[in-house]
Amino acid sequence: MPTAPPATLPTTPAARLRAVLDRIATAAARAGRSADDVTLIAVSKRHPAAEVVALRDAGQLQFGENRVQEAADKFPELKAATPALGLHLVGQLQSNKAADAVRLFDTIHSLDRASLVRALAKLERVPPCFVQVNIGDEPQKGGCAIDALPDLLAQAREAGLPVVGLMSVPPAELEPAPFFALTAELGARHDLHQISMGMSGDFEVAIALGATHVRVGTALFGDRP
């Protein structure tokens, strides 16, 4: 089973960030990797903008949100004030919100179907995209089926979209390691070397298996309200 995040977190944003960065450094060192090759994305969904500001002030610059509207409410001012801030869309994207999404987000982690490829291809500027794979074959989850990945990648590349990697979310109730290993293997097979996987409960396992981007919410912000 995935290990749960610690029940009690350090009390200040800076201390929580330090703790997560230390765990990333330790996991990377154990895997013979450089911590610089792992990008921490602070997933701030459902947490107020003030908490994002506090973490930004502690030095964190990459943030993730799962809904376009919530990000549009929280981030424009912050992004204007902090040009180096990177915003990552980690939740499902409806085709009719694609234009709004590319205006706001610097990276999309949830490209998962042909209709979204077509919607994005019509836009002028598309940020780097990860193709999300439904790695546990769960009907309720986003992500393209493993079998459909080669076709979707071909369509995205044909349309000129900047596909940089794969993203996955393993089934919540299962040991994540085999799903992380499969995600990395699929990435290698398709020459995609950025791998977005690992959350608060399992990011160290993900780093051991090749994650280049970990998406951490609870361990940085506490439980979501």
Ligand X SMILES: *Cc1c(COP(=O)(O)O)cnc(C)c1O
Q: Which residues bind ligand X (CB under 6 A)?
A: 43, 45, 66, 90-91, 169, 199-201, 215-219
Q: Minimal CA–CA distance to 217: which of 91, 132, 130, 128? A: 91
Do strands 194-196 and 163-168 pair parallel, antiparallel, or not at all (unpaired)? parallel
State the minimum distance, in angstroms, from the CB of residue 187 to ligand X: 17
- Nearest residue to ligand X, scored by beta-carbon proximity: 217
Helices (H) and strands (E) in the chain, counts: 10, 8
State the minimum distance, in angstroms, from the CB of residue 59 to ligand X: 19
Amino acid letter for position 152: L
Whose Cβ is closer to ligand X: residue 165's or residue 217's? 217
Whose Cβ is closer to ligand X: residue 118's or residue 224's? 224
In whole angstroms, what is the distance from residue 213 CA to residue 206 CA?
Answer: 9
Q: Which residues of 116-134 are buried (b: 16+ CB within 10 A; e: fewer)?
A: bbebbeeeeebbbbbbbbb
Structure tokens at 119: 């919607």
Whose Cβ is closer to ligand X: residue 18's or residue 45's? 45
State the minimum distance, in angstroms, from the CB of residue 158 to ligand X: 27
State the minimum distance, in angstroms, from the CB of residue 70 to ligand X: 12
Whose Cβ is closer to ligand X: residue 44's or residue 208's? 44
Whose Cβ is closer to ligand X: residue 51's or residue 125's? 51
State the minimum distance, in angstroms, from the CB of residue 132 to ligand X: 8
